[in-house]
Structure 1
Amino acid sequence: MRMGTDSDRPVGADGPVGADRPVGADGSAGTDGRGARGPVTRQERALAPDLARGVMLAFIALANAPLFLYDRPRGPRLHVIDTGLVDRIASFVVVTFVDGRAYPMFAALFGYGMVQLYRRQRASGSAEPAIRRVQVRRNLWLLVFGIVHAALLFPGDILGGYGLAGLFMLALLPVSDRGLLAWAAVCTVPVVVLGSTYGLATGGGGALVGALSTQDPWEAMSLRLADWLATTPFTALMVLLPMVLGLWAGRRRILDEPERHRVLLRRAAVAGLTLALAGGLPLDLVVVGVQPSSSVTVNLVYGALHTLTGVAGGLGYAALVGLLAARLQSRWARQALPGQRREVAPGRITTAVAACGERSLSCYLAQSVVFVLLFTPYAGGLGAHLGSAATAGVALLTWLAIVAGAGVLGRVGRRGPAEVLLRSLTYRAPRGNR
């Protein structure tokens, strides 16, 4: 199968297009000029992206929960400085396999999803201006969701950064594959420059940690907003690289048809996770106190290396989940009765995790609600007492509870509340169609 495209021709979100004739997902030209169609239906969803989002929400929980700890000094990547062996092992595992590895995977899936949205709209005959309006509205509303999330719950919000970066990504949808790779090279610069700062010990941690450790909830809100406003533009710059690579993957339907891309997925998983482990190890050893911090310059290099290889790790995780989805689909196909077009339903665990991924926005926000209630000094106050190991345990239990809840919603056919709201705001009918 030929997966590449002619790099000298303009490329739309779903492959090569002629300058005057946009092509939909089915190869037909979208010419009826209709407004945008509605959101994706459950029947149109692919297993691998949802399964990847569901799994990675566990990583998001493991990465975010330690930020809620307070009244202790912090080292690189804002991890508290642990003294107990079990806590140090937990920190090592999180920094090695989670920190800076989860958000690139979500960013790549975000770019991938933009291609899926574009392809569905073109296949239904929607006109280019209508598709662009949908994409713009979706990203602008993500910015709004982000600032509300930061104001009420968590200053380390990622939604605003995705929304801001997504607006820029709209300009890249018609760029050729060669142009995309050039942009990917350009986007490594902010990853290296900004990522290098993660190698520095940050003392008190600034507004982000202050917002999560203050006793006054109103002061916490002002600190959260200040941190969000200051950091969101930089977050957007950091997620551009995996988003561009996700767009490239979306053009090839790599996660829509993982069984047809096993070789590529296998290579991406092995290479990405190996790079993430090797590149993250120097900073990991500093975080847990095995290797002393030698100089600012060395720590900056460690931070840049950890962050850049984290992008490879995020893509490796996505590829690994794609391989899992391909294996599951092959198993279900073998279990189907010979000569009959019957699909075997996924197991309960797979269904629940995929349901969590399908409702990833609601589940992401739910994690923040739980962490605020448990950890902050004006609520549960556990952030002053738990170590890194216990905090990781709370994060995983939170994820499991949310997966169970998402599974229930999936079985009764209900969407997540945040998804319902975002879709109603994104796909509102144009005035002429009301």
Structure 2
Amino acid sequence: MSDMQNPPQISRSARIDALRGIAVFGILLVNVWSFIWGFESLRYGVLPATSSIFDVLAVAFTAFFAEQKFYPIFAFLFGAGFVLVTRSLKQQFGRWSDAERLYRRRLKWLLGCGVVHGTAIWFGDILTVYAIAGFFVLAGLTGARLRSVRNALRVWSIIFFALLLGNFLLGLQMVSPSALQEQAINTVAAVEAGRVVYTKGNLLSIGIQRLGDYASVTTQSLFILPHIALLFLLGAMSVRLGWLTQPARHITFWRRVQWTGFALGIPFNLAWATMVVAEAIDPLHPSLYSFLLYAWLPVGGTCLAAAYVATILLAKETAGQWLDNWLAPVGKMALTHYLMQSLLCSILLQGFGFGLGAIWPPAAWLALAFAIMLLQLFSSRWWLARHAQGPVETLWRRYINKGITDADKRD
């Protein structure tokens, strides 16, 4: 049967928004744990002896299904958005220079939003790093020419895999049972100290802890900039070649991505989830080779993320229509929802608010994440039935429109 026979009929913008909605929901599944445990290598903290099977399954589910699966999708869509937005601006102004200048204005707004988010609400902000990566990677791609995108993709691929291999080889030489034991003891102590502050502290103590963690997270996130750059550029290329905007013409390509992503991603992430659960149960005795899985998690996680994207783009009529109707509105308000998730989790889980992080078990934290998703699923449709954009997106648009007005005055 031909690949073009009965292709899925989808709206380009609606399905891209649906992907964005899925990404912002998936990110919450991972982020919710950090509101309790803070910033340390034990993202899921320590499972006490009284933990139920549901607590163990909550950790395993998040590690397998979500960790490092959804921020790659968001980064991929960020790069795709760069091409779509600059094309639109170019058509409006007729010059790539104006389009790129206004896009840099968008990045400045995103950077400011990220700094406020990271310092005042939640330390694990990704917007700061996206904005920085955007200035380095995207802002210089004049016209997003295919040749320029491909050349940049080659360069960042080499950098990414060189750093990946270098970190792995360095860790292979440095690892030893005694060093791992000492590091584990220090990590558990730091994790527990962070949990006490975030779940039982007051607004001041949590604020001080958040500032320190935000500085650490942002500094360390710069080391994943090559990975983000690679995803940005793949997103840009997916628009230039029509993979994302015309998926019905690339059914064979997306089927190969789907099956390859699942074939590589499922076994890797099963191993990763097994190790994460083992370390959460017994954090003082980490595996000698845990660094091996951690070093390659960006690859293993991205493989499963690619399979998710392919599955959504290949969705048949009924499933596709459901995605477009329910998840596209979430994607249209992705920035509003991302910030709102942080605000709700802070108020509900941390000590200055309801302090549920100190009372509820881990499975309940994950259930809270799903409850927030459900709330945002319905609130998106309600809000967009009355407004053209989400509230934060409206503020963003006003800031961009001011730049457009300034450009018009110069002309």
* Alpha-carbon displacement from aligned partner over 1:263-296 (angstroms, at most 9, x marks no partner): 2112212222332222223332122128978767
* Alpha-carbon displacement from aligned partner over 1:81-140 (angstroms, at most 9, x marks no partner): 253222111211110110111111101110111011122223345312211111111111
Partner SS for 1:415: coil
Per the alignment, residue 299 of structure 2 pairs with 308
Q: Which residue of the other structure, out of 213, 216, 221, is the alignment partner of 1:235?
A: 221
Q: Distance in 1 between matches of 2:337 and 2:120?
A: 16
Per the alignment, residue 211 of structure 2 pairs with 225
Identify if the C-alpha distance between structure 1 residues 273 and 235 changes in structure 2 by more than 3 Å, giving closer, same or farther: farther
Per the alignment, residue 153 of structure 2 pairs with 180
Q: Distance in 1 between matches of 2:264 and 2:94?
A: 41
Q: Which residue of the other structure, out of 183, 201, 213, is the alignment partner of 1:215?
A: 201
CA contact (8 A) 1:46 1:255 kept: no
Q: Quick check: 1:100 aligned with 2:65?
A: no
In the TM superposition, 1:241-320 aligns within 5 A as 241-289=230-278, 298-320=289-311
Q: Distance in 2 between matches of 1:356 and 1:191?
A: 34
Q: Distance in 2 between matches of 1:259 and 1:355?
A: 22
CA contact (8 A) 1:78 1:205 kept: no
Per the alignment, residue 32 of structure 1 pairs with none
Q: How much has 1:314 moved relative to structure 2?
A: 2.0
Aligned length: 372
| Amino acid corresponding to residue 69 of structure 2 in structure 1 | R
Identify if the C-alpha distance between structure 1 residues 243 and 233 changes in structure 2 by more than 3 Å, giving closer, same or farther: farther
Q: Quick check: 1:362 aligned with 2:331?
A: no
CA contact (8 A) 1:147 1:225 kept: no
Partner SS for 1:253: coil
| Amino acid corresponding to residue 420 of structure 1 in structure 2 | T
CA contact (8 A) 1:353 1:407 kept: no
| Amino acid corresponding to residue 351 of structure 2 in structure 1 | P
CA contact (8 A) 1:50 1:357 kept: yes
Q: Distance in 2 between matches of 1:52 and 1:80?
A: 32
In the TM superposition, 1:138-217 aligns within 5 A as 138-169=106-137, 170-172=139-141, 173-174=144-145, 175-190=148-163, 202-203=187-188, 204-205=190-191, 212-213=198-199, 215-217=201-203
Answer with 415-424 or 240-249: which moved more. 240-249
Q: Quick check: 1:431 aligned with 2:397?
A: no
Q: Distance in 1 between matches of 2:195 and 2:101?
A: 37
Partner SS for 1:427: helix
Per the alignment, residue 377 of structure 1 pairs with 351
Q: What TM-score does the superposition give when structure 2 sets the normalisation length?
A: 0.81
Per the alignment, residue 41 of structure 1 pairs with none
More helix by share: 2
| Amino acid corresponding to residue 265 of structure 1 in structure 2 | W
Q: Distance in 1 between matches of 2:196 and 2:230?
A: 30
Q: How much has 1:351 moved relative to structure 2?
A: 1.8
Q: How much has 1:75 moved relative to structure 2?
A: 6.7
Partner SS for 1:46: helix
Partner SS for 2:314: helix
What is the RMSD computed on CA atoms of the aligned residues? 3.1
Q: What TM-score does the superposition give when structure 1 sets the normalisation length?
A: 0.77
Per the alignment, residue 176 of structure 2 pairs with none
Answer with 107-116 or 315-324: which moved more. 315-324
In the TM superposition, 1:411-426 aligns within 5 A as 411-426=385-400
| Amino acid corresponding to residue 365 of structure 1 in structure 2 | L
Q: How much has 1:74 moved relative to structure 2?
A: 7.9
CA contact (8 A) 1:276 1:310 kept: yes
Q: Which residue of the other structure, out of 86, 89, 99, is the alignment partner of 2:54?
A: 86
Which runs of no fewer than 5 residues in structure 2 stay unpaired? 1-10, 172-179
CA contact (8 A) 1:352 1:410 kept: no
Per the alignment, residue 52 of structure 1 pairs with 19
Which runs of no fewer than 5 residues in structure 1 stay unpaired? 1-43, 333-345
Q: Which residue of the other structure, out of 70, 95, 115, is the alignment partner of 1:127?
A: 95
Answer with 237-246 or 104-113: which moved more. 237-246
